[in-house]
Amino acid sequence: MSNVGIVIVSHSPLVAEGTADMVRQMVGDEVPLAWCGGNGHGGLGTNVEAIMGAIDKAWSEAGVAILVDLGGAETNSEMAVEMIGEPRSQKIIVCNAPIVEGAVMAATEASGGASLKEVVATAHELSPS
Amino acid sequence: MLQLSNDSSFDTAGGMETGNLRDMAELNLSRLITTAADTIAAHAEELTALDQAIGDGDHGLNMKRGFEAVRSEAEAFSAKPLPEALKAIGTKLVMTVGGASGPLFGTLFMALGKEISAAPDRANLTGAFGKAIEAVAARGKSQVGQKTMLDVLQPVHDALLQGRAPFEIADIADAAAEATVPMKALRGRASFLGDRSIGHMDAGARSTALLVRTVAKTVGESA
């Protein structure tokens, strides 16, 4: 698929899956989408390996935008991007946006064929800072 | 791993220009890994209790899981040249510790491995350690004084620079962890608590001090 992919990373698998569900229902299947959540041991948290897997799953040559919830999700996502390494890491951006609204808005933008830069900018507009 | 020889030439400031740390080859990395994993396991409940006070209460368990994973491959890691061993340990920690601690401790070891030479002298070790601290600060978007592991790492770096002996460095690390108690957390989950984070030791600072003491003790004994 040539549209930008969206990855949702939450501490809670329920939040991540629910957010992905909203994206699918509100935006459709035009956007590569993957989610992950939980620490991999049944508890809340995020996990670098799972994030790398989700990026693979949602991979698009147009790039991937990652939506995260709390701090550790951001730290782990940035680590995952670094471990994926160049050249792919150049096309992956961790967004500074609320996870649910950001995912839906970014996916909406992506479904119209927007560039990674445009998709990320749309998500960032939701951020108060 | 980190050769902090207690050779008297290192005991005074300015001793860092001395030559290779001659016991590097004799340092048993496998034993150091085992000792570190033992230490973390022995303190897992304490670390969790610290984290329960102002964090999400999983630090002890997470660190234990990560160091047990490193322990299980101790022989393979210690067969590698030091830089490669440190990078591999860092990657293993990233993948197994979880939470925000995985990337932070993992980055510390990975960056150290990137900068250190196969047979480091104190100048190389100190320089590499400084770069590793910068990498941790960038990863956590944090800096010294925000009630994090950086508040232990930085004084340890300063002590290395001053040519302090291993046992002194271990004490400095403990004191630095203790000094996070009155600090207000500005990063991580604890920062959500604002002023209520004051009065508790940072769990990451404590685990860092534990690791520093383990390294210092192992190196001190083998030197």
- The alpha-helical segments, DSSP class H, found in A58-115 are 71-84, 99-111
The residue count for chain B: 223
Tell me the residues of chain B between 130 and 159 that have a Cβ less than 8 Å away from chain A: 139-140
Is a pLDDT exceeding 50 seen at residue B184?
A: yes
**Domain boundaries of chain B, sorted by first residue:** 23-222
* A124 located within any domain: no
- Which chain A residues contact residue B91 at CB under 8 A? 83
Q: Residue B58's pLDDT band (boundaries 50, 70, 90)?
A: confident
Q: For residues A11 and A44, is the Cβ–Cβ distance under 8 A?
A: yes
Q: Residue B223's pLDDT band (boundaries 50, 70, 90)?
A: low
Q: Range with the lowest mean pLDDT among A2-16, B59-73, B180-194, B206-220?
A: B180-194
The neighbour count for residue B141, using CB atoms within 10 Å, is 12
Is A13 in the B-facing interface, judged by CB distances under 8 Å? no
Is a pLDDT exceeding 90 seen at residue A87?
A: yes
How far apart are the CA of A125 and the nearest CA of chain B, in angstroms?
Answer: 22
Is A43 in the B-facing interface, judged by CB distances under 8 Å? yes
Q: For residues B169 and B160, is the Cβ–Cβ distance under 8 A?
A: yes
What's the pTM value of the predicted model, to 2 decimals?
0.85
Q: Residue A71's pLDDT band (boundaries 50, 70, 90)?
A: confident
The arithmetic mean of pLDDT across residues B190-194, rounded, is: 84
Is A79 in the B-facing interface, judged by CB distances under 8 Å? yes
Look at residue A40 in the predicted model and tell me its pLDDT: 79
The arithmetic mean of pLDDT across residues B59-72, rounded, is: 95
Listed in sequence order, the residues at least 6 apart from A64 whose beta carbon sits closer than 8 Å to its beta carbon are: A4, A5, A6, A7, A32, A55, A58, A91, A92, A93, A116
Look at residue A41 in the predicted model and tell me its pLDDT: 78
* A129 located within any domain: no
Task: Count the domains in chain A.
Answer: 1
Q: Residue A73's pLDDT band (boundaries 50, 70, 90)?
A: very high
- Asked if A46's CB is within 8 angstroms of B139's CB, the reply is no
Look at residue A129 in the predicted model and tell me its pLDDT: 61
The arithmetic mean of pLDDT across residues A65-76, rounded, is: 92
- The alpha-helical segments, DSSP class H, found in chain B are 29-42, 44-54, 59-72, 74-78, 82-97, 101-115, 122-140, 150-161, 166-178, 203-222
Classify each residue of A39-73 as buried b or exposed e, where b means 16 or more C-beta atoms within 10 Å of its C-beta.
bbeeebbbbbbbbbebbeebbbebbbbbbbbbbbb
Look at residue B13 in the predicted model and tell me its pLDDT: 39
Look at residue B191 in the predicted model and tell me its pLDDT: 84
* A74 located within any domain: yes
Torsion on CA atoms B167, B171, B172, B176, rounded to nearest 10: 150
Q: pLDDT, tens digit, for every residue of A38-51?
A: 987 788 889 999 99
Best interface-test mutation with A: which of B51, B52, B56, B148 has the largest number of A CBs within 10 A?
Answer: B56
Q: How far is CA B90 from CA B95, B104, B136, B150, in A?
A: 9, 9, 12, 17
Listed in sequence order, the residues at least 6 apart from B158 whose beta carbon sits closer than 8 Å to its beta carbon are: none
**Nearest neighbour of B98 by CB, restricted to A47, A70, A71:** A47
* A59 located within any domain: yes
The arithmetic mean of pLDDT across residues B61-83, rounded, is: 95
At A5, which helix (H) or strand (E)?
strand A5-10
**Nearest neighbour of A75 by CB, restricted to B65, B91, B103:** B103
Is a pLDDT exceeding 80 seen at residue B96?
A: yes
Domain B23-222 falls in which CATH fold?
A: 1.25.40
Q: Is A11 considered catalytic here?
A: yes
Is A96 in the B-facing interface, judged by CB distances under 8 Å? no
- Which chain A residues contact residue B188 at CB under 8 A? 71
Is a pLDDT exceeding 90 seen at residue B85?
A: yes
Is a pLDDT exceeding 50 seen at residue B195?
A: yes
Q: Decide which of A71 and B78 is more confident.
A: B78
Distance from the Cα of residue B180 to its chain's centroid: 16
Q: Residue B219's pLDDT band (boundaries 50, 70, 90)?
A: confident
Q: Residue B189's pLDDT band (boundaries 50, 70, 90)?
A: confident
Q: pLDDT, tens digit, for every residue of A94-114?
A: 999 999 999 999 999 999 999
Q: CATH no. for residue A103?
A: 3.40.50.510
At A20, which helix (H) or strand (E)?
helix A13-27
Task: Tell me which residue of A1, A23, A24, A6 sits closest to A94, measured CA to CA.
Answer: A6
Tell me the residues of chain B between 29 and 58 that have a Cβ less than 8 Å away from chain A: 56, 58
Look at residue B37 in the predicted model and tell me its pLDDT: 97
Residue range(s) defining the domain that contains residue A108: 5-116
Q: Residue A62's pLDDT band (boundaries 50, 70, 90)?
A: very high
Percent of chain B with pLDDT strictly greater than 90: 71
- Which chain B residues contact residue A12 at CB under 8 A? none
Is a pLDDT exceeding 90 seen at residue B12?
A: no
The arithmetic mean of pLDDT across residues B62-67, rounded, is: 95
